[in-house]
Chains A and B, each alone.
Chain A
Amino acid sequence: KAGVTQTPRYLIKTRGQQVTLSCSPISGHRSVSWYQQTPGQGLQFLFEYFSETQRNKGNFPGRFSGRQFSNSRSEMNVSTLELGDSALYLCASSGGGSTGELFFGEGSRLTVL
């Protein structure tokens, strides 16, 4: 069974640009959530989608947005990039299961110059 796949793995952008990150969950998983990881702030929750609907949202500005498609694949978009957006963006999928554990991808490492 394939794991969570995130693309691209690495990318470099400049301030003011926008970026779109993609996440393919484990087959059969309908919940996808996104987390931002930085050395200073640690791991912070961005949003969660379930069956194409945003179920939860973290405390991030409106420049951060996401969506989920009917095949459960998800994208997140960051517009008007700032230096502080440099981070590892992790996607996780969940199929419910007995504990509801999240399965994470390897992340997309974004560098903003």
Chain B
Amino acid sequence: AQKITQTQPGMFVQEKEAVTLDCTYDTSDPSYGLFWYKQPSSGEMIFLIYQGSYDQQNATEGRYSLNFQKARKSANLVISASQLGDSAMYFCAMRGVNGAGGTSYGKLTFGQGTILTVHP
């Protein structure tokens, strides 16, 4: 079974500053993929970044980076230079992966989410 834990119900950050959203996970799968999604008030889940368990380097996508610490089973999202439009709910999620470097498959298991508020 897979489990995702997000311990920060809410986070506040000043515009233009960096913020880290925490995520820890538990799984018995040897290969897995970790995702971060953003959900604004409109409801749509927007894919931000992906990290495969066998990836040697931490994933980065523009202002988003994933601080992956496999031994600690953590996959924290770092948002640099926060913008007002970053205010939203953020979800960490995981799926199984077919072998090392394979494509993820199956259901996404989500954490409870963190509400991020960016102040001007």
Contact = CB atoms under 8 A, between A and B. Distances in A.
A103 B35 CA distance: 12
Interface in A62-86: none
Which of B35, B50, B105, B113 has the most CB atoms of chain A within a 10 A radius of its CB? B105
A56 B112 contact: no
Contacts of B43: 88, 90, 106-107, 109
Contact of B106 (A43, A48, A96, A105): A48
Contacts of A100: 33, 95, 97, 103-105
Main SS of chain B's interface residues? strand
B44 A104 contact: yes
Given A96-B103, A99-B52, A100-B95, A105 B108 contact: no
A102 B47 contact: yes
B52 A104 contact: no
Contact of A42 (B35, B104, B110): B110
Interface string B41-57: 01111110010100000
- Interface residue range, chain A: 20 to 34
A104 B45 contact: yes
B45 A56 contact: no
Nearest to A55: B106
- Interface residue range, chain B: 20 to 34
Contacts of B52: 99
B99 to A, nearest CB: 13
B72 interface: no
Interface of A: 33, 35, 42-43, 45, 48, 56, 58, 88, 90, 92, 96-107, 109
22 contacts: A33-B108, A42-B110, A42-B113, A45-B108, A48-B107, A56-B106, A92-B108, A98-B103, A99-B35, A99-B52, A99-B103, A100-B97, A100-B103, A101-B50, A101-B104, A102-B45, A102-B47, A103-B47, A104-B44, A104-B47, A105-B44, A109-B43
